[in-house]
């Protein structure tokens, strides 16, 4: 805190932790300051300072941008990885470094072609039977080994349940910076600038890790745009063999059952989601929502209340304790808009909300707000779309 402070109070209002109080026309930083730096930005007089030094370490031997490949149950690459490759290609080009993919699994070698089409110049493959299913210990140990050996500058991982289990394990062991659930990535002064939401999406933060390598981030699925694949693109393949001790596989899945019906559309990667809340539960079902979703070719989402009522399994739940989705279309009816639901869907491209209450919070995030009775509107809309589609 410098003498130039006039006690204007801007910092006091900005502080997310309530840790600044203006006393006698001077801002005083209290003990509960979290050193987040929010106040430094808003001070018109440059009175506040956070002392941090960029260490003069030589990181020139760290090069390349790596993307972790998440392989789905059916043996294909998850879209989230392809999105990261697409974004990674831009960033790697800007840095003048190689875009690489890391691929772990069993009989996954063929996927290198897919990764190449989305921009990977080199793919590091560890292909062994023990890696057929994801295992925290095995995957993290192998990737830590690869990072230590090949020294990438940047490692990005999809912020899926798997990625969010894996990434902190790697970063903590390597003692490097990791930013969770980013919605934006760019290059600034040769460093990875990572943008992420916090406080339920009310504020955004730009984060960097200047003093450690690799710079690591997990990135929210469905946010980065997937590029068009380049047919005929090729890549270098680096195969690594590792020995996996049985003792390393400490966590075992002893039982596994599918919660969704086979053939049912999954909300994670759906382009369109039709979603319903408590208000759309008619006689213990979500029929009106499901019928509309069917004619639209959309996946069915729901709020927590619907799961609590036992009407839909949790795999359909959108929100803080469910899934975060960002489809091109999120059409929602009968959800008033609790923050926990909004967090899970507000980054969707086009949100259409139907609600009886003109003051429903859901309208704050919607592009189109329909004030009306869903029991009257949804069946008519379903019929109208059927006609449009010639069904």
How many other C-beta atoms can be found within 10 angstroms of the C-beta atom of residue 118? 24
Report the alpha-carbon distance of residue 279 to residue 276 in Å, rounded. 7
Nearest residue (CB) to another protein, 37 versus 75: 37
Find all residues with CB under 8 Å of 41, minimum gap 6, and list them: 14
Specify whether the CB–CB gap between 183 and 195 falls below 8 A.
yes
Tokens linked to 365: 């995030």
Residue that has been written with the tokens 């080994």 in this structure:
145
CB of 24 to another protein, least distance (A): 21
Contact indicator for 274, 385 with CB cutoff of 8 Å:
no
Of 86 and 382, CB closest to another protein: 382
CB of 163 to another protein, least distance (A): 10
101 vs 167, beta carbon nearer another protein: 167
CB atoms closer than 10 angstroms to residue 206: 13
Quick one: 64 or 177, whose CB is closer to another protein?
177
Q: How far apart (Å, rounded) are the C-alpha atoms in residues 358 and 213?
A: 50
In angstroms, give the least distance from the CB of 147 to another protein.
14
Rounded Cα distance, 238 and 120, in Å: 12
Q: Which lies closer to another protein via its Cβ, residue 201 or residue 229?
A: 201
- The least distance separating another protein from the CB of residue 322, rounded to whole angstroms, comes to 9
Residue 285 CB coordination number (10 Å): 15
Smallest distance, Å, CB 113 to another protein? 26
Nearer to another protein, 169 or 287 (CB): 169
Residue closer to another protein by CB (options 19, 131) is 19
Q: Is 92 helix (H, G, I), strand (E, B) or coil?
A: helix
Look at the alpha carbons of 310, 316, 317, 321 in this order and tell me if their dihedral is positive or negative. positive
Pairing verdict, β 65-68 and 99-105 = parallel
**Given the structure tokens 């090949």, which residue do they identify?**
150
Min separation Cβ 241 and another protein, Å: 24
The minimum distance between CB 298 and another protein, in angstroms, equals 9
* Closer residue to another protein, CB minimum distance, 144 or 238: 144
Peptide bond into 316 cis (omega under 30): no
54 burial level (CB within 10 Å; 0-12, 13-18, 19+): exposed
Q: Using CA atoms, how far apart are residues 299 and 359, in angstroms rounded to an integer?
A: 27
Query: Which one, 190 or 200, has the nearer CB to another protein?
Result: 200
> Which residues contact residue 282 at a Cβ distance below 8 angstroms, ignoring those fewer than 6 apart?
288, 375
CB of 308 to another protein, least distance (A): 5
Residue among 67 and 299 whose Cβ is closer to another protein: 299
Decide if 87 contacts 224 (C-beta within 8 A).
yes
> Are the beta carbons of 300 and 293 closer than 8 angstroms?
yes
Min. distance of Cβ 237 from another protein in angstroms? 29
Residue whose C-alpha is closest to residue 300's, from 281, 308, 283: 281
Q: CB of 188: closest distance to another protein in angstroms?
A: 8
């Amino acid at each position: 805190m410098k003498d130039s402070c006039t006690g204007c109070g801007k910092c006091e209002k900005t502080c997310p932790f309530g840790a600044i109080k203006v006393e006698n026309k001077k801002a005083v930083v209290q003990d509960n300051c979290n050193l987040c730096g929010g106040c430094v930005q808003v001070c018109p007089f440059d009175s506040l300072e956070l002392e941090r030094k960029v260490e003069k370490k030589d990181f020139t031997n760290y090069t390349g941008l790596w993307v972790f490949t998440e392989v789905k149950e059916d043996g294909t690459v998850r879209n989230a990885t392809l999105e990261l490759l697409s974004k990674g290609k831009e960033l790697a080009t800007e840095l003048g470094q190689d875009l690489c993919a890391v691929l772990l699994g069993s009989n996954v070698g063929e996927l290198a072609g897919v990764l190449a089409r989305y921009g990977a110049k080199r793919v590091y493959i560890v292909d062994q039977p023990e890696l057929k299913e994801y295992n925290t210990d095995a995957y993290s140990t192998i990737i830590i080994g690869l990072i230590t050996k090949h020294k990438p500058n940047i490692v990005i991982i999809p912020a899926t349940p798997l990625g969010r289990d894996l990434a902190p394990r790697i970063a903590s062991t390597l003692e490097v910076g990791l930013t969770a659930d980013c919605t934006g990535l760019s290059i600034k002064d040769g460093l990875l600038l990572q943008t992420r939401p916090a406080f339920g999406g009310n504020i955004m933060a730009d984060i960097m890790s200047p003093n450690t390598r690799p710079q690591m981030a997990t990135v929210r699925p469905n946010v980065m745009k997937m590029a068009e694949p380049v047919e005929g693109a090729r890549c270098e393949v680096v195969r690594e063999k590792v020995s996996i001790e049985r003792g390393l596989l400490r966590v075992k899945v002893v039982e596994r059952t599918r919660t969704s019906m086979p053939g049912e559309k999954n909300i994670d990667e759906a382009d369109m989601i039709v979603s319903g809340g408590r208000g759309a539960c008619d006689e213990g079902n979500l029929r009106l929502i499901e019928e509309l979703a069917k004619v639209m070719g959309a996946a069915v989402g729901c709020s927590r209340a619907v799961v609590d009522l036992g009407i839909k399994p949790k795999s359909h739940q959108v929100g803080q304790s469910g899934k975060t989705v960002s489809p091109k279309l999120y059409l929602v009816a009968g959800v008033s808009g609790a923050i926990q639901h909004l967090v899970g869907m507000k980054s969707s491209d086009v949100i259409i909300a139907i609600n009886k209450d003109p003051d429903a919070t859901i309208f704050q995030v919607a592009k189109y707000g329909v004030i009306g009775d869903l029991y009257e509107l949804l069946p008519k809309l379903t019929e109208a779309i059927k006609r449009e589609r010639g069904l």
